[in-house]
């Protein structure tokens, strides 16, 4: 008995020493030897569980804890940690949340679990409590984690008061830059410039820090990859896409071990490609959707990648795949159903199924998405030349929406394109009546009144135009031009009102006071510059030289040689030479004797027909085109065709 106790004592001493030295494989063997002597020894079991955790054998550790339920009260932290590392985060939180009077390490594990569950406000509260009530060597790590939580709170638009954090390490500087990016708005992008500077500072701090720690160049580059990809994202938001793409590509060429980094960089490269270079994008999206990423990326990152996958299927014209991906996307992220439906509708429209696309979009036309969805339907229909259907969709809107200036303008344009002026006029009338009745303010409506008035004046609807001009005059009472137009309009159907309104016009003498009649007469705004006579004042030095007007001498026209004024000119004088009736085409030298000689073997009398000395003395016709054709017998009735020389390229005519 004493020897057994001595053996246990020596084995525990050995186990303690191995634990202190980090020799966990040997510690496992020693713990098993102890359990061989004492099967239910809790200390040995505890040491065995810890050794498995240190060796990342979390399933083995869980098996021991589950096998000995009596150990659970003492090993709640270890069980929760194993579940957390095995990505069973919800189960881990249930255990850790039920621990009474949690220790510091329990609080830190709880904060990590809350971060993975994306419950950032609760996580922020736990970290703030830990930092307040702790004082050890892990202060920098806790501040870094707190800064990461603040980034996500900024992305969510949380109003939590942000504490001031130090930036003396590259991790803290990096997170500070991420926070600036998260708080960037569309109107003000100054934060992006500050974030870029911080990221470049973080890159330098990272290299210096890791070189001091004796890290290899490969390890340093692996750590720098995260900073460089984030810098690329910052540059991409600034519109510097080429620089961003260079950073993403360089980071991916290093083949980093972090699959989350590869996924983010690959997704961002695909977004830069857009609808170009789709084959490269397909390769990138494979890397961005590999297995295991569901536990490495946040839900927002996974959502963006899944949506980009749908868009890529659209760009590559993979109709069935696009539809199936969009359906899965809507199931996983119901809050993005309108975006997925839009992608589906565009795919259907590309296949020539515009009406099906509109039906699909109509189902999503609810609440705040109602008007944008209806306008998307109109765009799809117009892109497929379904003009009448587009008009029906616009006319199905509520009265308020139909009276919006942009929609009024669209409807008028579409009706005028169909040649239906009456319907266009009715749209403008309804809009004018709506704003007169409801007095709603939708910004500056003066352009709408002006366009409506001009339209109805051109169409001869003077009374309707007057109503629009009245509204325009109410908006700007000092507009003399509008007042004058209104008076002209009333003069055509209500002279009395035109007379009363004319009293509001400024008096004529007020307009004439500031007008210089002499300046108007001498100015050249009425007639062209060439017609206005330039008045030249005589120079005091040489008055006689400028008084005389220089006369241009007329030259006599040249007449051709042998000109006879009594004879009529040749009527064909303006025709080209080859079109004149007396033109004789020059014979080709190679064929000049062909008509004068008979062919070999011809009849003896045949040559006389072509002998010029024996031809009849008949007077030739003045026009060679009218001369009678000479019929010849023999095997060759036609002359050899004259081959005209081709004009060389670049030569002269």
Q: Is the pLDDT of residue 284 over 60?
A: yes
- Predicted confidence at residue 589, as pLDDT, reads 62
- Predicted confidence at residue 602, as pLDDT, reads 47
* Out of 62-66, 333-337, 498-502, least confident range: 498-502
Provide the b/e sequence for 528-540 (b: ≥16 CB within 10 Å). eeeeeeeeeeeee
Q: Give mean pLDDT, residues 339-360.
A: 89
Residue 41's domain comprises 1-100
Q: Tell me the per-residue pLDDT of 55-96, one tens digit each, with 9 for 90 and over.
A: 999 999 999 999 888 888 889 999 999 999 999 999 999 999
Most confident option among 81-85, 271-275, 457-461, 568-572: 81-85
Which residues have a Cβ under 8 Å from the Cβ of 516 and sit 6 or more positions away? Answer: none
- Predicted confidence at residue 631, as pLDDT, reads 40
Q: Give mean pLDDT, residues 128-149.
A: 91
Q: CB–CB of 424/416 below 8 Å?
A: yes
> How far apart, in whole angstroms, are the C-alpha atoms of residue 168 and residue 363?
54
Does residue 333 fall inside a structural domain? no
pLDDT over 90 for what percent of the chain?
Answer: 36
C-alpha distances in Å from residue 350, one per residue of 334, 372, 376, 381, 617 = 25, 20, 14, 11, 84
- Predicted confidence at residue 382, as pLDDT, reads 87
- Predicted confidence at residue 653, as pLDDT, reads 37
Total domains in the chain come to: 1
- Predicted confidence at residue 16, as pLDDT, reads 87
Q: Report the mean per-residue pLDDT for the chain.
A: 80
Q: Tell me the per-residue pLDDT of 165-184, one tens digit each, with 9 for 90 and over.
A: 889 999 999 999 999 999 88
Provide the b/e sequence for 69-88 (b: ≥16 CB within 10 Å). eebeeebbbbbbbbbbeeee
Q: Is the pLDDT of residue 221 over 70?
A: yes
Q: Is the pLDDT of residue 120 over 80?
A: yes
The pLDDT confidence band at residue 433, using thresholds 50, 70 and 90, is confident
Does residue 353 fall inside a structural domain? no
Most confident option among 183-197, 448-462, 468-482: 183-197
Closest listed residue to residue 233, CA positions, set 151, 172, 167: 151
Does residue 465 fall inside a structural domain? no
Q: Is the pLDDT of residue 312 over 90?
A: yes
Closest listed residue to residue 639, CA positions, set 600, 604, 569, 587: 587
Q: CB–CB of 462/492 below 8 Å?
A: yes
Most confident option among 311-320, 425-434, 597-606: 311-320
Q: CB–CB of 414/387 below 8 Å?
A: yes
Q: Is the pLDDT of residue 449 over 50?
A: yes
Q: Tell me the per-residue pLDDT of 521-579, one tens digit each, with 9 for 90 and over.
A: 665 554 444 444 444 454 444 444 444 455 556 666 677 777 777 887 778 878 888 88
Q: What CATH number should be reported for the domain holding residue 59?
A: 1.25.40.10
Closest listed residue to residue 49, CA positions, set 61, 63, 35: 61
> How far apart, in whole angstroms, are the C-alpha atoms of residue 497 and residue 500?
5
Does residue 342 fall inside a structural domain? no
Q: Tell me the per-residue pLDDT of 181-215, one tens digit each, with 9 for 90 and over.
A: 998 887 778 899 999 999 999 999 999 999 999 99
Q: Give mean pLDDT, residues 339-354.
A: 89
C-alpha of 35 from chain center: 67
Q: Tell me the per-residue pLDDT of 351-400, one tens digit each, with 9 for 90 and over.
A: 888 888 888 888 888 877 888 888 888 888 888 888 888 888 888 888 88
- Looking at beta carbons, which pairs linking 15-20 to residues 24 or more positions away fall under 8 Å? 15/44, 15/47, 19/47, 19/50, 19/51
Q: Is the pLDDT of residue 604 over 70?
A: no
């Amino acid at each position: 008995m004493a020897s057994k106790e001595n053996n246990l004592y020596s084995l525990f001493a050995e186990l303690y020493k191995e634990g202190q030295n980090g020799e966990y494989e040997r510690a496992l063997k020693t713990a098993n030897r102890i359990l061989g002597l004492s099967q239910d020894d809790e200390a040995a079991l505890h040491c065995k569980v810890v050794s498995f955790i240190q060796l990342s054998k979390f399933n083995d550790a869980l098996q021991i804890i589950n096998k000995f339920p009596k150990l659970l009260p003492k090993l709640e932290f270890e069980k929760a940690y194993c579940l957390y590392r095995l990505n069973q985060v919800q189960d881990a939180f249930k255990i850790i949340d039920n621990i009474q009077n949690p220790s510091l390490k329990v609080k830190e594990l709880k904060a990590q679990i809350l971060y993975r569950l994306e419950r950032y406000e609760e996580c922020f509260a736990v970290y703030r409590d830990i930092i307040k009530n702790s004082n050890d060597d892990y202060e920098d790590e806790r501040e870094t984690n707190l800064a990461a939580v603040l980034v996500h709170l900024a992305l969510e638009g949380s109003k939590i008061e942000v504490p001031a954090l130090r930036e003396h390490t590259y991790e803290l500087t990096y997170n500070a830059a991420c926070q600036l990016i998260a708080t960037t708005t569309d109107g003000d992008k100054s934060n992006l410039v500050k974030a870029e500077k911080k990221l470049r500072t973080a890159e330098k701090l990272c290299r210096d820090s890791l070189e001091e720690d004796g890290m290899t160049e490969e390890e340093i580059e692996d750590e720098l990859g995260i900073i460089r990809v984030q810098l690329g994202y910052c540059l991409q938001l600034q519109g510097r896409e080429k620089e961003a793409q260079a950073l993403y590509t360089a980071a991916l060429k290093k083949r980093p071990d972090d699959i989350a980094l590869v996924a983010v960089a690959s997704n961002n490269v695909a977004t830069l490609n857009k609808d170009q270079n789709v084959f490269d994008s397909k390769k990138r999206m494979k890397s961005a959707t590999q297995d295991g990423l569901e536990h490495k990326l946040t839900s927002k990152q996974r959502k963006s990648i899944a949506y980009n996958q749908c868009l890529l299927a659209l760009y590559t014209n993979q109709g069935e795949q696009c539809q199936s991906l969009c359906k899965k996307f809507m199931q996983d992220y119901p809050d993005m159903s309108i975006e997925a439906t839009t992608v589906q509708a565009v795919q259907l429209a590309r296949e020539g199924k515009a009406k099906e696309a509109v039906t699909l979009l109509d189902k999503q036309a609810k609440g705040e998405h109602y008007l944008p969805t209806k306008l998307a339907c109109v765009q799809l229909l117009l892109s497929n030349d379904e003009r009448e259907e587009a008009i029906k969709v616009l006319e199905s809107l509520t009265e308020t929406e139909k009276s919006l200036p942009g929609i009024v303008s669209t409807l008028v344009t579409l009706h005028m394109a169909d040649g239906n002026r009456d319907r266009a006029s009715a749209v403008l009338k309804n809009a004018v009546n709506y704003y007169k009745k409801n007095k709603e303010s939708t910004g500056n409506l003066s352009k709408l009144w002006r366009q409506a008035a001009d339209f109805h004046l051109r169409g001869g609807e003077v009374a309707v135009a007057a109503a629009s001009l009245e509204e325009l005059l109410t908006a700007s009472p000092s507009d003399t031009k509008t007042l004058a137009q209104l008076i002209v309009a009333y003069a055509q159907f209500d002279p009395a009102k035109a007379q009363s309104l004319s009293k509001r016009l400024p008096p004529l003498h007020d307009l004439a006071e500031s007008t210089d009649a002499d300046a108007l007469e001498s100015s050249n705004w009425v007639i062209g510059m060439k017609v206005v006579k330039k008045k030249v004042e005589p120079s005091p030095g040489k008055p006689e030289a400028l008084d005389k007007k220089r006369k241009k001498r007329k030259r006599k026209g040249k007449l051709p040689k042998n000109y006879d004024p009594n004879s009529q000119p040749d009527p064909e004088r303006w025709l080209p030479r080859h079109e004149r009736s007396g033109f004789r085409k020059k014979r080709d030298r190679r064929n000049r004797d062909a008509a004068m000689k008979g062919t070999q073997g011809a009849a003896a009398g045949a040559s006389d027909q072509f002998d010029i000395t024996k031809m009849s003395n008949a007077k030739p016709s003045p026009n060679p085109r009218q001369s009678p054709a000479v019929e010849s017998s023999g095997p060759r009735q036609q002359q050899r065709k004259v081959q005209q020389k081709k004009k060389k390229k670049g030569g002269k005519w």
